[in-house]
């Protein structure tokens, strides 16, 4: 049987959720950076004995609370999404176990068996956002695909989205009729031109 990616992509309104990042090193800072790049209004709590200067700077610019402490289960209280990034596997596994008990979504960095979700490559151009996943197998491939899409998707794609949204409001009929009309109208976007 051919291997395939069975993950279900979801675009979460992170500003409505409470995120916990356990750890304060390079990986924690990277996860925080990409989370805030995509969702600058995310509410994040980070717990670690020490934090990098870059993490402290990001926290000051965003809604990030830093607590200098070791991980304790009490820090899960009120959290919806948890990311474990410590360099201590036993701590990360404990975070995962505690999250399982409390039915919280958890990602243990670089440890796919202990992940409910992966943080894939993301391309954002205005209102257009593309998420890229390699099923946790190759973050480098996801990064290269992200770079590719960032260069080929035009900066003015947002103008198209806004214009199509305005056009959609003028279309009469039920949902299926509107979808059919928009599909016909946008078909030229992907058709290859015969030379």
pLDDT in tens, 36-82: 999 999 999 999 999 999 999 999 999 999 999 999 999 999 999 99
In the chain, the largest separation of any two C-alpha atoms, in whole Å, equals: 64
* Tokens coding 172: 């009469």
Rounded to two decimals, the pTM is 0.84
- Residue 92 in contact with residue 71, Cβ under 8 Å? no
**Tell me, what's the pLDDT at 174?**
85
Ranges under pLDDT 70 in the chain = 1, 190-195
SS3 of residue 8 by DSSP: coil
**Tell me, what's the pLDDT at 195?**
46
CA 176-178-184 angle, to 5 degrees, is 100
Task: Give 151's Cβ-side CA count (13 Å radius).
Answer: 5
* Tokens coding 181: 């009309």
**Tell me, what's the pLDDT at 66?**
98
């Amino acid at each position: 049987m051919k291997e395939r990616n069975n993950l279900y992509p979801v675009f979460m309104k992170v500003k409505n959720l409470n995120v916990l990042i356990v750890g304060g090193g390079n990986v924690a800072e990277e996860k925080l950076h990409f989370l805030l790049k995509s969702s600058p209004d995310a509410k994040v709590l980070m717990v670690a004995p020490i934090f990098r200067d870059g993490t402290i700077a990001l926290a000051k610019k965003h809604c990030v609370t830093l607590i200098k402490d070791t991980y304790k289960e009490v820090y899960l209280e009120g959290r919806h999404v948890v990311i474990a990034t410590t360099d201590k596997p036993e701590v990360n596994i404990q975070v995962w176990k505690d999250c399982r008990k409390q039915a919280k979504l958890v990602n243990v960095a670089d440890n796919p068996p202990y992940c409910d979700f992966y943080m894939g490559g993301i391309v954002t151009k205005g209102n257009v956002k593309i998420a890229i996943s390699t099923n946790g197998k190759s973050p480098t491939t996801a990064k290269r695909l992200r770079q590719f899409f960032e260069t080929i998707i035009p900066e003015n794609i947002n103008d198209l989205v806004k214009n199509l949204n305005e056009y959609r409001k003028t279309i009469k009929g039920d949902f299926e009729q509107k979808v059919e009309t928009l599909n016909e109208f946008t078909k030229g976007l992907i058709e290859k031109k015969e030379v």
